[in-house]
Amino acid sequence: MIYLTLFIEFFKIGLFSIGGGMATVPFLMELTTKYTWFSTEELANMIAISESTPGPIGINMATFAGFHTAGIPGALTATFALVSPALVIIIIIAKFMANFSDNKYVKSAFYGIRPMIAALIGFAVWQIVGITFADTSNGTITLHYSAVIIGLIIFILTQIKPLKKIHPIIWIIVGAASGIFFQL
């Protein structure tokens, strides 16, 4: 039963991806090795589209992954499963724990979780960078030089102070345009 498996997997993602939409990426990456639902490259496409459409990125990705796996019912299942743990937890916090984020144990747990989440996202990004800028399909590593140069330019530009405020969607449009122009 694909819907039950989808529900369980995305419920787990919803329960453990802490600190924003990007935190779902390491878990989705794990799904590419566990099931044949989607490949790493398809996941990279999903992230690309989720970043360039309205709505929270985490929700967009769950909907996309669910749709890719099992059509519209799959999309609804994955999205519903992703938000349901938080729905319950937030209601409990709103009702009983007004100063939840000041709690000593919560703070201590996050002192450990934050660097770990950063590392896990870093690892997932590293894998996506790998398939975006290099081709390893025939046993040797071939770099896509034009992609590397465009990626580096965009990365350096986004790190310059006055340009940091530019909305990500602008960089995505720049990426799409240079992809078409340079035939990436």
Scanning residues 27 to 66, which ones bind other proteins (CB under 8 A)? 27, 30, 44-45, 47-60, 63-64
Residues 5, 35, 133: CA angle, nearest 5 degrees: 135
Which span (2-10, 97-105, 135-143) binds other proteins, by CB under 8 A?
97-105
Helix (H) or strand (E) holding 20: none
Which span (1-9, 124-132, 135-143) binds other proteins, by CB under 8 A?
124-132
- Answer for which of 2, 8, 18, 143 binds other proteins (CB under 8 A) is 18
Judged by CB under 8 A, does residue 184 bind other proteins? Answer: yes
Judged by CB under 8 A, does residue 140 bind other proteins? Answer: no
Query: For residues 157 and 77, what is the distance between their CA atoms, to the nearest angstrom?
Result: 39
> Residue 80: CB partners within 8 Å, gap ≥ 6?
7
Give the torsion sign (CA, 151, 69, 13, 78).
positive
Give the residue from 121, 117, 147, 124 showing the smallest Cα distance to 135.
147
Backbone angles phi, psi at 94, to 5 degrees: -65, -30
Q: Could you say which DSSP state residue 6 is in?
A: H
Query: For residues 74 and 79, what is the distance between their CA atoms, to the nearest angstrom?
Result: 8
Judged by CB under 8 A, does residue 96 bind other proteins? Answer: no
Judged by CB under 8 A, does residue 139 bind other proteins? Answer: no
Q: Which residues, 103 to 122, sit near other proteins by CB under 8 A?
A: 104-122
Backbone angles phi, psi at 142, to 5 degrees: -110, 125
Q: In angstroms, what is the minimal distance from the CB of 60 to other proteins?
A: 5
Which span (1-9, 134-142, 154-162) binds other proteins, by CB under 8 A?
154-162
Q: Give the residue with the Cβ less far from other proteins, 4 or 158.
A: 158
Judged by CB under 8 A, does residue 70 bind other proteins? Answer: no
Size of the site for other proteins (CB under 8 A): 100
Judged by CB under 8 A, does residue 150 bind other proteins? Answer: yes
Q: In angstroms, what is the minimal distance from the CB of 142 to other proteins?
A: 15
- Answer for which of 2, 4, 8, 90 binds other proteins (CB under 8 A) is 90
Helix 145-159 crosses helix 104-133 at what angle (to 10 degrees)?
150
